[in-house]
Amino acid sequence: MTASTEQRPRSYRVRTYGCQMNVHDSERLAGLLESAGYVPAEQDTTPDVVVLNTCAVRENADNRLYGNLGQLRPIKHDHPGMQIAVGGCLAQKDRGEIIRRAPWVDVVFGTHNIGSLPVLLERARHNGDAQIEIAESLEVFPSALPAKRDSAHSAWVSISVGCNNTCTFCIVPALRGKEVDRRPGDVLAEIKALVAEGIVEVTLLGQNVNAYGVDFGDRRAFGDLLRACGTINGLERVRFTSPHPRDFTSDVIEAMAETPNVCHQLHMPLQSGSDAVLAAMRRSYRAQRYLKIVEEVRAAMPDAALSTDIIVGFPGETEADFQATLDVVAQARFAQAFTFQYSRRPGTPAADMAGQVPKAVVQERYERLVALQESISWELNRKLVASIVEVLVSEGEGRKDAATRRMSGRARDGRLVHFEPGDSEIRPGDVVLAEITYAAPHHLVSDLALRAHRRTAAGDAWAAGRRPTTPGVLLGLPSFTRGDDMTADALRRR
């Protein structure tokens, strides 16, 4: 007997915009929906539920949302029973405005109550009208909710939500609230559970991770958390994002340097190299303080790869201010920089500041900054040619052309590496050692035979389409374990 449409499980698809916190929230939304009986929509099919998890940081966020909603309107018209839900930062900000501009939306929910989504969808179906629920404070810490992880080998682990800073260009504190920290035991318990499933890499996530502990009165909590991660067997890589220079301490640098599984990678937003602009931004540090942190990191970890965020054209920025930014970039020598042209965001103090910089001037400065950073990135990457790097293989394949079939992954310092797998059966989640043969500004390439390949439980899980449940085994190319002598000379002796 054929099941009726009502008996068929309803399908869903989540579209994510914005930062890593939104990606993490989307994993929770997927987990919630599947716990409520929904199933992922198959590719090239129309889902019964579309969830848009929005961002409010960039200037075109509103246009992007309403453009997507406009595209969904005729699809919903042709598929009776389809529901559209809008969540995330833009939903927290716009609230009822979304229903006014797009009355075909069924559910609007905020950043503090993502756990309400299944109930709101069912209520909208039952009542036949839109449901809007925006909580003003966090109802349940997101990590207490079920999750469907996107990766079989890497996972986001939230250690805090919200932010206590008051940067004049940022609307996030108004939308995600004051900082709320998880207890260290809860964080470590989640990591251990993930490792038991085969996860080998975690990224500790927060709006300001090195302020972690302020909620329960322990200013050394973040450094201690990094050290505790080093005691978890099977956890090979630990990253974190994002720290604030104001709260960066020597203790955190020491913890990074002395904990073997903490990657020597640091993403620390600069925003501007001008002290005057930093003051206008309410960034409670100055250029020399930032450079002192960089110097201390490099002294403790000479191989550390640093990246940053920079805003060009903040209100009142002069040519001298911009030159100060170029000077700091030249001194810091970032491996990568995420550069943004300033855009006015309603609800932020900067939106009403005098001295808004003309678009043409912002564009010209932006291009100069990008050119400088590209030259630095390329120079740093070229120094890695002939070195051997450990690569955690990513889902999907790398670049393809007629002559190669490359796969991709991340080195321990976060750099993207494309490599030639040869005849080896290499899966996402496995670990390989690759000798770098070519460097570009944004990636490295290895066209030589791999030096070693280690199969992992994460790779087994990917191949089986499930979570890893058993430890990996070593086979194929020469095997290795963390702590082995992996110098070029040692490898040649193998």
C-beta of residue 383 within 8 angstroms of C-beta of residue 368: no
Q: What percent of the chain has pLDDT over 90?
A: 66
Report pLDDT for 94.
85
Alpha-carbon distance of 83 to 104, in angstroms, equals: 9
Give yes or no for residue 93 having a pLDDT over 90: no
Report pLDDT for 79.
94
In 55-130 the beta strands, taken as DSSP E runs, fall at 83-88, 107-109
Asked which of 19-23, 51-55, 294-298 is least confident by mean pLDDT, the reply is: 19-23
Report pLDDT for 462.
84
Q: Which two tokens stand for residue 191?
A: 């990591």
Name the amino acid, one letter, at 134: I
Which residue did the predictor score with more confidence, 96 or 248? 248
Report pLDDT for 440.
97
Identify which of 320, 317, 309 has the alpha carbon closest to the alpha carbon of residue 271: 309
Report pLDDT for 399.
53
DSSP type of residue 185: H
Q: Which two tokens stand for residue 23?
A: 């990606």
Report pLDDT for 59.
62
Report pLDDT for 375.
98
Residue 246 Cα distances to 249, 338, 463, angstroms: 9, 20, 44
Mean pLDDT of 287-310: 98
Q: Which of the given ranges, 95-99, 217-221, 323-327, 406-410, has the highest pLDDT on average?
A: 323-327
Report pLDDT for 492.
31
Report pLDDT for 479.
36
Alpha-carbon distance of 377 to 306, in angstroms, equals: 10
Sheet bearing 416-419, strands edge to edge:
438-439, 444-446, 416-419, 405-411, 388-400, 431-435, 452-454
Residue 339 Cα distances to 97, 98, 279, 307, angstroms: 31, 30, 19, 11
C-beta of residue 306 within 8 angstroms of C-beta of residue 269: no
- What number does CATH give the domain 142-379? 3.80.30.20
Q: What is the largest CA-CA distance in the chain?
A: 76
Report pLDDT for 215.
86
Q: Which two tokens stand for residue 409?
A: 């992954």
Name the amino acid, one letter, at 29: L
**Model's pTM, two decimal places?**
0.83
76-88 CB burial, b ≥16 within 10 A, e <16: beeeeebbbbbbb
Report pLDDT for 355.
96
Mean pLDDT of 394-418: 78
- Collapse the DSSP code of 472 into the 3-class scheme (helix H, G, I; strand E, B; otherwise coil) and give the result: coil
Q: Which two tokens stand for residue 175?
A: 């939308």
Mean pLDDT of 293-311: 98
- The CATH class of 11-133 is alpha beta
Mean pLDDT of 227-241: 96
Alpha-carbon distance of 446 to 66, in angstroms, equals: 43
Which residue did the predictor score with more confidence, 12 or 424? 12
Domain boundaries, the chain: 11-133, 142-379, 388-492
C-beta of residue 318 within 8 angstroms of C-beta of residue 285: no
Report pLDDT for 491.
33
Domains 11-133 and 388-492 share a fold: no
Identify the band that residue 322 occupies on the pLDDT scale cut at 50, 70 and 90. Answer: very high
Q: What percent of the chain has pLDDT over 70?
A: 90
When the pLDDT of each residue in the chain is averaged and rounded to a whole number, the result is: 87
Mean pLDDT of 2-27: 79
pLDDT tens readout for residues 425-480: 899 999 999 999 999 999 999 999 999 999 998 888 888 775 432 222 333 333 33
Identify the band that residue 404 occupies on the pLDDT scale cut at 50, 70 and 90. Answer: low
| Helices marked H in 109-218 | 117-127, 172-176, 184-196
C-beta of residue 29 within 8 angstroms of C-beta of residue 88: no
Mean pLDDT of 396-420: 79
- Collapse the DSSP code of 217 into the 3-class scheme (helix H, G, I; strand E, B; otherwise coil) and give the result: coil
- Collapse the DSSP code of 107 into the 3-class scheme (helix H, G, I; strand E, B; otherwise coil) and give the result: strand
C-beta of residue 194 within 8 angstroms of C-beta of residue 467: no
Q: Which fold has domain 388-492?
A: OB fold (Dihydrolipoamide Acetyltransferase, E2P) (2.40.50)
Asked which of 12-16, 141-145, 316-320, 434-438 is least confident by mean pLDDT, the reply is: 141-145
